[in-house]
Structure formats: structure tokens, C-alpha cells
Amino acid sequence: MASDVENGISGIVTDLPSKRRAKRAAIEECKVRGGVECVVAITYKNQCLVVVDGNKSYIVSSPTIGRATRLAMQDCVKGGGTDCHVYYSGCSTAKRIQ
């Protein structure tokens, strides 16, 4: 996940074969969506990522979407969020190599 914090724009990609490719693709996705100063905010592998918005954004990765959602919602409520909602959820799944 890459973000342009100043403009509130993010780019998120999953299931790419390398961390380097994922970082480049996330930055590119952020720019395509209108970001200017896009930087990598978080990387995750064989995990799920959830972004919850409230008074600010809360990003959590965990082995399951359910757990990541619970943790991010808890963080939002603890942070004083009054309208906490899931903005994004998705998983980067393991790939079997033969």
C-alpha cells in the first residue's frame, strides 16, 4: 500500500511475486489515482490488510480479514473515531511453488 498523505490518496495491490514489484505497483496505482507524493505505507505477505477510516485512517494486517477488521475498528474507537468504517480489505494469498 502506498499513500499520498497530503492529498488522501492510496494505491493498494496484492498477489505480486516480489516485494519490490509490489512497492512499485502500489506507488504507480497511487499516482494513477491522482497522488503526487506517493510513498509506501505498509507491505504485507500472506496476510490480510484492512484500512478503517474514522477521524483518521487505521491500517492493520493480520492472518485473517476478520481479525484485522476487529483490530482496526478497536484502534479507530480508541483513537476517538465516531464514524469508523472499513475503507478497504483484502488479502495477499500464499502461492504454491512446485
pLDDT digits (tens, 9 = 90+) for 78-89: 999 889 999 999
- Record the cell numbers describing residue 61, joined without a space: 494486517
Report the candidate in 61, 45, 49, 53 with the shortest Cα–Cα distance to residue 94.
45
**Whole-model pTM?**
0.82
- Check residue 70 and give its pLDDT: 97
Could you tell me what percent of the chain has a pLDDT over 70? 96
If you average pLDDT over every residue of the chain, what do you get? 91
Higher pLDDT, 5 or 28: 28
Average of per-residue pLDDT across 65-85 = 94
Average of per-residue pLDDT across 17-37 = 95
Q: How many CA atoms lie within 13 A of 4 on its CB side?
A: 16
34-66 pLDDT tens trace: 999 999 999 988 899 999 998 888 999 999 999
